[in-house]
Structure 1
Amino acid sequence: MRHLPRDLSLTSAATLATLDRTGPRRITDLAVTEGVTQPAMTVLVRVMEKDGLVERRGDPSDKRVTLVCLTEAGASYVRARRQAGAQAFARLIDKVSHEEAEALVAALPALLHLATLDGQDHEGPKQ
């Protein structure tokens, strides 16, 4: 994530990834998940909406609620960032010794479990 375009903050990128992982969310839920205030998330969503990365839609189950949804451009950005991250890791793994590579493979189950636990901690209230 170090190589984000200058006009896209880490919070914006994280919010896009959250929407990709969890689906449409309320602004208040996104604010809690990303650790920012609701007014800050409102501004962030406005900017991302202007950039075509997200859109607001009514919640079919409650017409009073507006949900923030990932657009195709937003989903494409998330896929590109994940692919770039995977390629960066692949380049680094190619530089480690065979023993270090084996240690990384052995650690994968524990790392996947940590990622699952982290995802559960950051999901916030369910829709």
Structure 2
Amino acid sequence: MVRQVTEEDALQLVLAVHRLNRTLRVSTTDLPPTQLIVLSLLMEHGPTRIGELAARVPCSQPTATTVVAGLEGTGLVRRQPDPADGRAVLITLTDEGQERVVWVARREAELLDLRMAELTPEERGVVLAATPLLRRLAGG
């Protein structure tokens, strides 16, 4: 019989995922976390208004505006008119921005691969078997 997941179980999983994510990210990119989150969101969802980005990050709209301005200054995103509302703008990932997200993800995967090599074959199997489930949980 499978036991009930406790709040403590969930907390420990969240902490472990955060720690792993932070360790991989710090070792692979110089982008601040919020900038990388915005780039990833744009890659996943396509052109997006600043207010929507702020809600998805989550952060305040002024923070999202500052983050987008920084990314725009480095050529990773651009602003374009929203065809549905001429008063609004959409933030779009540039080709360079998309390449940067993929580059960071590949560096993180390389580092994770090195870390997983330290596990036993059985442990690696458990981690790999959990991937589809973690993807489902991440999807909401």
Same-fold call, TM > 0.5? yes
Residues 1-127 of structure 1 correspond to what in structure 2 (within 5 A)?
A: 1-3=25-27, 4-5=29-30, 8-117=31-140
> Structure 1: where are the runs of 5+ without partners?
118-127
CA shift for structure 1 position 46: 1.0
Identity of aligned residues (%): 32
CA shift for structure 1 position 91: 0.9
SS at match of 1:2: helix
CA shift for structure 1 position 115: 2.1
CA shift for structure 1 position 51: 0.8
Once residues 65 and 111 of structure 2 are traced to their aligned partners in structure 1, the CA distance between those partners, rounded to angstroms, is 32
CA shift for structure 1 position 62: 2.2
Q: Which residue in 1 is equivalent to 2:17?
A: none
Look at both structures and tell me which one has the larger radius of gyration over its CA atoms.
Answer: 2
Residues 17-53 of structure 1, C-alpha deviations (whole Å, 9 max, x = no match): 0000100100011111111111111111111111101
CA shift for structure 1 position 108: 2.3
With a CA cutoff of 8 Å and minimum separation of 6, indicate the structure with the bigger relative contact order: 1
2:80 aligned partner, one-letter code: R
TM-score normalised by structure 1 residue count: 0.84
Greater shift, 31-40 or 18-27, is seen at: 31-40
Once residues 106 and 53 of structure 1 are traced to their aligned partners in structure 2, the CA distance between those partners, rounded to angstroms, is 34
Q: Which consecutive aligned stretches of 4+ in structure 1 deviate over 3 angstroms post-superposition?
A: none
Going by fraction, where is helix more abundant, 1 or 2?
2
Q: How many residues align?
A: 115
Once residues 42 and 16 of structure 1 are traced to their aligned partners in structure 2, the CA distance between those partners, rounded to angstroms, is 13
Residues 33-82 of structure 1, C-alpha deviations (whole Å, 9 max, x = no match): 11111111111111111110100001122222200000111111100011
Q: Which residue in 2 is equivalent to 1:125?
A: none
> Structure 2: where are the runs of 5+ without partners?
1-24
